[in-house]
C-alpha cells in the first residue's frame, strides 16, 4: 500500500453480517472492515459468540485463553473463517450462549444479563487493545467501538496497561443508550469515581449509561452521516446527550455510511429474478412482475408499486404511510411491506392486506432474499422516517433504479436529491406530517405519468456512488488524526456535568 503506513484496527461490534444482523449496524460491521482491509489496513473484528455461532466456534482455527480476572469470567478468543477481514469471536457460554437474539429472548424481552454481557465484550476489547493483550504479536493502533454494547470499551481502555490504542466510538443510533441500574457497578467493575454525573462519571439520570461512557471517554466520536452529527447536538434528537455532544463538537465527525456493492448491485445480484443495469431498465419490469406473482398482487402496471423494508416503528414513520394508504390504493397503487415491529402496525398492515389482497402484501418474517427482490421489483421505496442516523435502503434503492421517498433527516437528507433539482434522484419532503407525505406522493404520481422524466430520475439514481472506499478512507484519516490527538473531553469542560432531559432513550435494544 503506497502512502501512509497501514494501520492495525480492532473493530468491536455486537453484530456483523451475515453471521449476526438485526439492522444496519450488522451490514456496516462487515462492509467497513472489508473496505479498510482492501485499502491495506490490518483489521480484526471482535464479536460475541452467540448461540447460533456455536458451530463456527467449534471450527475455529486459533484459540487464545482469557483467564478469569476480577469480576470477569474465563473465556476464549476464537478466530473463525471469514472473507475480507480477520473475525474473532468472544466465546463465553455463560454470557452469550442464550436463546433468542443478541439482545433479547425469543419473545423480544431483553436478556437480564445484558449489562454484564456487553460490559464483558467492552472489557475484552479494551484488554486486547492494550499492553494486556493476549495477542503478543499484534498491537492495535485504534480501538473502534460501535454503539452502546461496546460503549464501556473506551473507558476500560484508560485503566489498562500501556501501550494503549487510541479509541474511536461510532454512534449508529443515539436513541439506544444501554442504560442500566446503578447497582450493576460491582458486576461491571466500575470505580467509584465513575459513579457520578460530572467529570469522568457514567451516570445519566441515576443509571449507568454505556452510551455516556463512550461519549465521555472515547478520543474521537463519529456518527453515520453529516446531518445526523448536527442533529444529535440539538435537544430534539439529542436524547439527553446533546449538551455533552456540543461540548465535544470538535471531536464529533459525521461520515456517511456506504453500501456493500458486492452484495447490493442489480447487475450481479444472485437473489433477484432478472439482473439489470442502468442501460437495460426494461429488465427491471421483469422483477416487478416476479414480485407481484410471489406476493399475490395483481399483475398491473397502471400505477406505481411501492415498497417498504423496515422496522415497523414510530421512528420509521409507519403511521404516515398508513394514513396515506387508503388514498394510495384509490389511485391504483400497490404496496409491498417486509418488516416487523410494533404489534399495532403489524396488525394494521395485515388488515389492509386482507381487505385489499390484490394491492397490499405484508411479510413480517424477515427474508434477505425478499428484501433484494423488493428493492429490484418496486418502483418507489418509502422511508418517511422521523429521524434516520444514516439509513441504507435509500442507497440500495437508488442503486436498483427504485426511487426513494424520504423525509429530509439524517443520512436521508445527505444521500437523496429531490426530483425538482436538475440532479434529482428521488423525492424529499421536510415536514413530519401525513399531509406532507401526501403532497410528495402526489408528485410521485405526476412524474410516474411522464416516462421520460421517470427514466431520467432512475438513471441519475443508479449513477450515484455509495460504495465504501471513500468512507473507509475518511475513517482511516480519522484513525491517523486520532493517534496524534488528546481527548477533547476533560473534567474542566464547561459542559462536563450537563445532563440533558432524556427523550425516550431506549436502554437495551437496537
- pTM, 2 dp: 0.91
> Average per-residue pLDDT in the chain?
94
Residue 496 has pLDDT above 70, yes or no: no
| pLDDT 10s digits, 160-183 | 999 999 999 999 999 999 999 999
DSSP 8-state code for residue 283 = G
pLDDT of residue 366: 80
What is the mean pLDDT of the segment spanning 435-447?
99
pLDDT of residue 138: 95
Q: Where are the domains of the chain?
A: 8-258+470-483, 278-462
| pLDDT 10s digits, 265-309 | 999 999 999 999 999 999 999 999 999 999 999 999 999 999 999
Nearest CA to 28 out of 312, 253, 264, 275 is that of: 264
Q: CB neighbours of 81 closer than 8 A, spacing ≥ 6?
A: 56, 59, 61, 87
With bands split at pLDDT 50, 70 and 90, how would you rate the model's confidence at 477? Answer: very high
**Alpha-carbon distance 480 to 470, whole Å?**
16
pLDDT of residue 486: 39
What is the mean pLDDT of the segment spanning 336-360?
98
Q: Which class is 278-462 in CATH?
A: alpha beta
Helix, strand or coil, per DSSP, at residue 240: coil
Q: Cβ distance 319 to 293 under 8 Å?
A: no
Q: For the chain, how many residues are written?
A: 510
With bands split at pLDDT 50, 70 and 90, how would you rate the model's confidence at 1? Answer: very low
Nearest CA to 256 out of 437, 480, 469 is that of: 469
The percent of residues above 90 in pLDDT, for the chain, comes to 89
pLDDT of residue 107: 87
| pLDDT 10s digits, 118-166 | 999 999 999 999 999 999 999 999 999 999 999 999 999 999 999 999 9
The percent of residues above 70 in pLDDT, for the chain, comes to 94
| Strand ranges (E), 147-260 | 166-171, 179-181, 203-204, 207-209, 220-223, 252-254
Provide the pairing of β-strand 142-146 with 166-171. parallel
What is the mean pLDDT of the segment spanning 59-73?
95
With bands split at pLDDT 50, 70 and 90, how would you rate the model's confidence at 508? Answer: low
* Domains 8-258+470-483 and 278-462 in one fold: yes
Cell 439524517 found at: 410
Residue 390 has pLDDT above 90, yes or no: yes
**Alpha-carbon distance 469 to 38, whole Å?**
9
**Alpha-carbon distance 464 to 470, whole Å?**
13
For residue 230, the tally of other CB atoms under 10 A from its CB is 17
Residue 407 has pLDDT above 80, yes or no: yes
Q: Quick one: cell of 464?
A: 450515484
Nearest CA to 506 out of 107, 255, 210, 155 is that of: 210
Residue 503 has pLDDT above 80, yes or no: no
The CATH H-level (homologous superfamily) assignment of domain 8-258+470-483 is: Glycogen Phosphorylase B; (3.40.50.2000)
| pLDDT 10s digits, 219-234 | 999 999 999 999 999 9
Q: Cβ distance 220 to 480 under 8 Å?
A: no
pLDDT of residue 500: 54
Amino acid at each position: 500500500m503506497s502512502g501512509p503506513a497501514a494501520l492495525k484496527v480492532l473493530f468491536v461490534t455486537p453484530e456483523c453480517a451475515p453471521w449476526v444482523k438485526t439492522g444496519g449496524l450488522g451490514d456496516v460491521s462487515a462492509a467497513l472492515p472489508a473496505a479498510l482491509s482492501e485499502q491495506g489496513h490490518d483489521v480484526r473484528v471482535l464479536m460475541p459468540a452467540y448461540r447460533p455461532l456455536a458451530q463456527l466456534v467449534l471450527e475455529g482455527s486459533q484459540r487464545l485463553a482469557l483467564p478469569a480476572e476480577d469480576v470477569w469470567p474465563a473465556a476464549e478468543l476464537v478466530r473463525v473463517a471469514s472473507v475480507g477481514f480477520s473475525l474473532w469471536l468472544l466465546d463465553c457460554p455463560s454470557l452469550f450462549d442464550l436463546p433468542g437474539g443478541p439482545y433479547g429472548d425469543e419473545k423480544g424481552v431483553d436478556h437480564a444479563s445484558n449489562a454484564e454481557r456487553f460490559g464483558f465484550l467492552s472489557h475484552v476489547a479494551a484488554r486486547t487493545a492494550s499492553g494486556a493483550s493476549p495477542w503478543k504479536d499484534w498491537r492495535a493502533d485504534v480501538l473502534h467501538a460501535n454503539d452502546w454494547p461496546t460503549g464501556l470499551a473506551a473507558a476500560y481502555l484508560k485503566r489498562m496497561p500501556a501501550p494503549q490504542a487510541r479509541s474511536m466510538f461510532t454512534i449508529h443510533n443515539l436513541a439506544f443508550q444501554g442504560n442500566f441500574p446503578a447497582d450493576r457497578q460491582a458486576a461491571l467493575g466500575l470505580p467509584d469515581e465513575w459513579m457520578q454525573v460530572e467529570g469522568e462519571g457514567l451516570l445519566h439520570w441515576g443509571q449507568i449509561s454505556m452510551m455516556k461512557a463512550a461519549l465521555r471517554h472515547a478520543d474521537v466520536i463519529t456518527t453515520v452521516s453529516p446531518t445526523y452529527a448536527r442533529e444529535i447536538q440539538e435537544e430534539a434528537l439529542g436524547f439527553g446527550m446533546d449538551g455533552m455532544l456540543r461540548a465535544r463538537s470538535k471531536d464529533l465527525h459525521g461520515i456517511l455510511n456506504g453500501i456493500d456493492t458486492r452484495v447490493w448491485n442489480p447487475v450481479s445480484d444472485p437473489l433477484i429474478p432478472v439482473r439489470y443495469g442502468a442501460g437495460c431498465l426494461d429488465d427491471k419490469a421483469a422483477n416487478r412482475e416476479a414480485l407481484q406473482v410471489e406476493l399475490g398482487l395483481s399483475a398491473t402496471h397502471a400505477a406505481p408499486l411501492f415498497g417498504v423494508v423496515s422496522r415497523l416503528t414510530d421512528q420509521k414513520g409507519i403511521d404516515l404511510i398508513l394514513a396515506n394508504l387508503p388514498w394510495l390504493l384509490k389511485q391504483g397503487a400497490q404496496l409491498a411491506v417486509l418488516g416487523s415491529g410494533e404489534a399495532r402496525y403489524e396488525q394494521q398492515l395485515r388488515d389492509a392486506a386482507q381487505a385489499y389482497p390484490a394491492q397490499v402484501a405484508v411479510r413480517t418474517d424477515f427474508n434477505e432474499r425478499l428484501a433484494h427482490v423488493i428493492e429490484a421489483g418496486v418502483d418507489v421505496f418509502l422511508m418517511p422516517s422521523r429521524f434516520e442516523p444514516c439509513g441504507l435502503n435509500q442507497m440500495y434503492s437508488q442503486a436498483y433504479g427504485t426511487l426513494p421517498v424520504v423525509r429530509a433527516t439524517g443520512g436521508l437528507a445527505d444521500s437523496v436529491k429531490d426530483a425538482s433539482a436538475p440532479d434529482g434522484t428521488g423525492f424529499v419532503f421536510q415536514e413530519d406530517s401525513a399531509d406532507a407525505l401526501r403532497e410528495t406522493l402526489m408528485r410521485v404520481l405526476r412524474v410516474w405519468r411522464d416516462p421520460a422524466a421517470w427514466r431520467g430520475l432512475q438513471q441519475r439514481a443508479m449513477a450515484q456512488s455509495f460504495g465504501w472506499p471513500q468512507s473507509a478512507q475518511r475513517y482511516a484519516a480519522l484513525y491517523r488524526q486520532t493517534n496524534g490527538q488528546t481527548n477533547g473531553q476533560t473534567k474542566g469542560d464547561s459542559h462536563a456535568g450537563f445532563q440533558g432531559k432524556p427523550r425516550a432513550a431506549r436502554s437495551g435494544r437496537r
